[in-house]
Amino acid sequence: MREIKCLIIIGMVFSFCLACGKENPPDVEVTPVQEEVPSPEAAVLLRPVNDEVCTSGVPVSDHFSRVRFEWNAGANTEAYTLKIHNLNNQQNQFYTNIQETFKEVELAKDIPYQWQVISSSAGTNDSAISSPWRFYLAGDGATNAAPYPPQLLRPASGSRFPTSTARVELAWEATDPDRESLTYTLYFDTVDGRQSPASDHQNITVTQKEVAVASQTTYYWRVQATDPNGNSAFSAVYSFRVE
C-alpha cells in the first residue's frame, strides 16, 4: 500500500513538472492591413474657354455677371476646390468642397481672370491641380477686350547682378483675348516702377529690351500692354539690384 501511494505521489509530481515546463504561446497582436488610398488626379477644364472672351455670363447687375465654370472629373476625386484669380488686382477667390464638376460664381465684368481646379479625396493628403486657364469676362455691349496683364519673364524679381554688370535685358510676354497685335510701354526707374517712361521705352513692338544699369542701385520695372483700340493692362512690378 505504501508503495502504491508513493507511486501515485511521484506520478502527480511528475505531471505537475511537465505542466510547469510548458510555455504559454505569446499573445500575437494582429495589425489590420490598411488599404492604400489612390491619389486624386487633376481635372480637365472645359469652360470658360482658355484665352477667350467670355460672353456667356448672365448679368446680375450693372457691374457683375454670373459665370458657370465646368470641368471633367479627375479620377479618385471626392471633392474640388475652385480657385479664381483676378489678374488686375491679384486677389484670389476660393470655393471649397464642391461635389459636382461645375460651379456658378458672380464676378465683376470687364476683368481678366485665371482659374484652376484642385482635386482632393478623403484618406490622403495628396491633391492634384489642373492647368491654369485665363479668360476675359466681357461687359454689357463690349465689343473689344483689354489685353491680359503682361507676364514678366526675366530677370526674376529680387535678382542680383555683379558690380561689373553694365546692361540687363528685360523680357516679358503678353496676349490679347481678341488676338490683336500689341504695343508695349516699359516703366523702368529706381523709385517704384511707376515713374514716367522714357521716350525710347514707349510704343515697343517686341517683348524684350536691354537697359543700361549702374552698380549699387536697385531698379524697378513693369510693362503696359496696349491694343489697337487703346485698351491696356499693366504687369506686376518687379525689381532687381546691381551690387
- Report the alpha-carbon distance of residue 131 to residue 51 in Å, rounded: 13
- Report the alpha-carbon distance of residue 48 to residue 231 in Å, rounded: 22
Q: Are 232 and 226 in contact (CB under 8 A)?
A: yes
- Of the residues 137, 162, 178, which one is the last residue of a structural domain? 137
Q: Are residues 87 and 133 located together in one domain of the fold?
A: yes
- Residue 17: the pLDDT is 46
How confident is residue 23, by pLDDT bands cut at 50, 70 and 90? low
Q: Are residues 48 and 104 located together in one domain of the fold?
A: yes
Residue 33: is its pLDDT beyond 80? no
Q: Could you list the residue range(s) of the whole structural domain that residue 127 is in?
A: 44-137
Q: Are residues 156 and 189 located together in one domain of the fold?
A: yes
Domain count of the chain? Answer: 2
pLDDT digits (tens, 9 = 90+) for 105-122: 999 999 999 999 999 999
Residues 6+ apart with CB under 8 A from 196: none
Q: Are 103 and 95 in contact (CB under 8 A)?
A: yes
- Report the alpha-carbon distance of residue 222 to residue 219 in Å, rounded: 11
- Residue 15: the pLDDT is 52
- Residue 151: the pLDDT is 96
Q: Could you tell me the pTM of the whole model? A: 0.79
- Residue 13: the pLDDT is 46
C-alpha cell at 234: 499693366
Summarize the confidence of residues 117-142 as an average pLDDT.
Answer: 93
52-54 and 64-72 beta bridge pairing: unpaired
Q: Is residue 214 part of a domain?
A: yes
Q: Is residue 19 part of a domain?
A: no
Mean pLDDT, rounded, of the chain: 90
Q: Is 101 helix (H, G, I), strand (E, B) or coil?
A: coil
- Of the residues 96, 113, 137, which one is the last residue of a structural domain? 137
Q: Are residues 122 and 177 located together in one domain of the fold?
A: no
Residue 209: is its pLDDT beyond 90? yes
Q: Are residues 59 and 130 located together in one domain of the fold?
A: yes
Summarize the confidence of residues 175-186 as an average pLDDT.
Answer: 96
Residue 19: is its pLDDT beyond 90? no
Q: How many residues does the chain have?
A: 243
Q: Are residues 106 and 180 located together in one domain of the fold?
A: no
pLDDT digits (tens, 9 = 90+) for 37-86: 899 999 999 999 999 999 989 999 999 999 999 999 999 999 999 999 99
Q: Is residue 34 part of a domain?
A: no
Q: Are residues 192 and 118 located together in one domain of the fold?
A: no
Q: Are residues 120 and 195 located together in one domain of the fold?
A: no
CATH number at residue 170: 2.60.40.10
Residue 221: is its pLDDT beyond 70? yes
- Residue 140: the pLDDT is 79
C-alpha cell at 166: 553694365
- Residue 24: the pLDDT is 55
DSSP alpha helix (H) spans, the chain: 2-21
